[in-house]
Amino acid sequence: MIRVESLNKVFGPNPDQALALLAEGRSKDEILAETGHVIGVQDVSFTLKPGEFFVIMGLSGSGKSTLLRAINRLIEPTSGHVWLTTDDGEVDVASADARQLRHLRQDHLAMVFQRFGLLPHRSVRDNVAYGLEIKGVPRAERMKRAEEVIEMVGLGGWAASPPSALSGGMQQRVGLARAIATGAKVLLMDEPFSALDPLIKMQMQDEMIRLQRQLGRTVLFITHDLDEALRLGDRIAIMDDGRFVQVGTPETIVTNPKTAYVADFVAHADPTNVITAATVAVGPDHDRIDEVGREDGARVIVHRTQADVEIVVGADGRVLEVRADGGRADLVPIDELLEEETPRSRHRDRAAIVRGDRTLRTLLEARNRVNLPLLVVGEDEKLLGLVTERELIHGITEKRGPNGGTTDGGAKADGGAKEVAA
Ligand SMILES: Nc1ncnc2c1ncn2[C@@H]1O[C@H](COP(=O)(O)OP(=O)(O)OP(=O)(O)O)[C@@H](O)[C@H]1O
Ligand SMILES: [Mg+2]
């Protein structure tokens, strides 16, 4: 769909000289000091799958905007390719001529800017229809399409208003609508929500998630807000000095930052929506778990912090029963518990079953409703491990350093359950 290959951007009169120094292993700062050239983007390669939401993060000056602009040629790349899948096969945006480029921008690459970039003297409707107008779509058709998209982004009733009559969040909805209306398959978004108040920003993120589900566009989204990246991204790329230093899913970035730079970002993120049950659960080989085999082939598993609770696992790996206080607890799927309007809080006569891909936040909510270890299972219903207060707290507070270093001997805690889940 879109494939970026070895993209470089150097600012300055003799970029090849700067690239040669880069190849010799010189840093961005050294090259700037010696030659006055600024490395904007260095050797970035990645492929976006259709419908993927890909987030680029990094500190100010790390090259995020330069990369996005080099992709749609608002800035000329120094070298490299941007392959775009079109009806005519793969086209390299980086070497397209002016006419091709116009078409590519109209049909494939739509941009949403941080400061909205609306035309002040045009109505909301005419702003949204702008891309279609440039494409030569007949007036009646583009007005109809604009109305549809205006409705879609929640601005019904505002079509005739000028942008100045709208709040910041509403103006950004217009910016988004304009990009969506073009029908472009790839949306390029440069910090579209960062000028908005925190609450409005959250609303726009929800809106973005909803629209993405509905439309399935491929999105390349820049932000310097990690929580935003974690909420929205299928994958996240972390940029430093013009390079991608790590690319991964939100959970990988949070639980396994590769460098100190990434770890610094992650240190302040809220991990509860990202980390999964399979990651925090402790399996039979963990030292918080005791396991005894039974004659019939079943195993009895006990979590040391709740040693009076026995979990009986059948030979097929599934939980047979949970015994507490001399009785048998009911086994209840977590969603059933969470749907209860008046939670019976923290009883010991039922145990919750949770799939390994559910988040820590879900576990916390469940833990508020049952007082037995949470039973984390894989897709095949086999027990991956247990989660008690201990694992929840560990999951939230664990300091995650580069290369998976932890402060609580947690590496082992992760190992067992995660592998079974994969
Ligand atoms: N026109 C230009 N001429 C020279 N250097 C530039 C130019 N535009 C950007 N740069 C440099 O390229 C590097 C990357 O800048 P860029 O704007 O892409 O960063 P960014 O990650 O988008 O930062 P921010 O979060 O502040 O928007 C910086 O070192 C910047 O100084
Ligand atoms: Mg920028």
Q: Which CATH number is 242's domain given?
A: 3.40.50.300
Structural domains of the chain, count: 2
Task: Name the closest ligand to CA 75.
Answer: 1
Residue found under tokens 């049909």: 107
- Give the integer Cα–Cα distance in Å for 326 and 311: 13
Residue of 9, 11, 220 to mutate, ligand 1, most atoms within 8 A of C-beta: 11
How many angstroms separate the alpha carbon of residue 76 from the centre of ligand 1?
14
Nearest CA to ligand 1 atom 1: 11
Question: Looking at 249, 269, 289, which one is the last position of a domain?
Answer: 269
Residue range 210-230, pLDDT digits in tens: 888 888 899 999 998 898 999
Q: Which of 35, 55, 37 is nearest to 46 (CA)?
A: 55
Write out the two tokens for 160.
């005739």
CA–CA dist 420, 378 (Å, integer): 8
Q: Of all protein residues, whose CA lies closest to atom 25 belonging to ligand 1?
A: 60
**H/E run at residue 69:** helix 64-71
Same domain, 263 and 281: no
Do 319 and 409 lie in one domain? The reply is: yes
Is residue 309 domain-shared with residue 414, that is, in the same domain?
yes
pTM summary value: 0.83
Does residue 288 lie within any of the structural domains? yes
Q: Are residues 358 and 400 in the same domain?
A: yes
Pick the atom of ligand 1 nearest to 38's CA: 5
Question: Do the domain assignments include residue 365?
Answer: yes
Does one domain contain both 255 and 359? no
Residue 118 lies in a domain: no
Which ligand 1 atom is nearest residue 11's CA? 4
Closest CA to 62 of 296, 330, 261: 261
37 & 95 share domain = yes
Is residue 159 in a domain? no
How far does residue 74's CA lie from ligand 2's centre (Å)?
A: 13
Angle at 365 between CA 362 and CA 366, to 5 degrees: 85
Strands 243-248 and 235-240: antiparallel
Instruction: For 46-92, write each residue's pLDDT tens digit.
Output: 999 999 999 999 999 999 999 999 999 999 999 999 999 988 889 99
The token pair that represents 64 in the structure block: 């995020």
Q: Is 6 part of a structural domain of the chain? A: yes
Nearest ligand 1 atom to alpha carbon 28: 29
Residue 158: pLDDT band with limits 50, 70, 90: very high
Cβ neighbours around 64 below 10 Å, total: 22
Residues, the chain: 422
Among 269, 300, 333, which residue terminates a domain? 269
Same domain, 260 and 339: no
Residue that finishes a domain, picked among 269, 286, 308: 269
**3-state secondary structure (DSSP) of residue 258:** coil
Measured distance CA(174)–CA(42) in Å, rounded: 33
**Does 115 reside within a domain?**
no
**pLDDT at position 405 over 80:** no
Domain harbouring 286, CATH code: 3.10.580
- Is residue 357 in some structural domain? yes
Same-domain pairing of 264 and 321? no
- Residue 395 near residue 360, CB atoms below 8 Å: yes
Instruction: Give the distance (Å) from ligand 2 centre to CA of residue 31.
Output: 21
Calculate helix-pair angle for 389-397, 410-421, nearest 10 degrees. 100
pLDDT of residue 403: 57
Q: What is the CA(321)–ligand 2 centre distance, in A?
A: 55
Same domain? 239 vs 298: no
What the block records as the tokens of 366 is 């469940």
Residue 312: per-residue pLDDT: 96
Query: Is the pLDDT reported for residue 342 higher than 80?
Result: no
What residues make up the domain containing 195?
2-108+184-269
For a mutational test of ligand 1's pocket, the pick from 64, 190, 223, i.e. the residue with the most ligand atoms closer than 8 A to its C-beta, is 64
Sheet holding 383-387, edge to edge: 289-293, 299-303, 310-313, 319-324, 327-333, 350-355, 374-377, 383-387
pLDDT band at 408 (very low <50, low <70, confident <90, very high): very low
DSSP state of 52: -
Is residue 26 assigned to a domain? yes
233: alpha, beta or left? (left if phi > 0; alpha if psi -120 to 50): beta
What value does the mean pLDDT take over residues 269-289? 91
Q: Give the number of the ligand closest to the Cα of residue 71.
A: 1
Q: How far is the CA of 403 from the centre of ligand 1 (A)?
A: 29
Residue nearest to atom 29 of ligand 1 (CA): 61
CA of 69 relative to ligand 2 center, distance in Å: 10
pLDDT at residue 221, rounded to an integer: 96
Same domain? 49 vs 189: yes
Residue nearest to atom 3 of ligand 1 (CA): 11
Residues with CB under 6 A from ligand 1: 11, 38, 40, 58, 60-66, 224
Quick one: 81 and 196 in the same domain? yes
Q: State which residues have CB under 5 angstroms from ligand 2, the bound ion.
A: 65
Assess whether 251 and 374 both reside in one domain: no
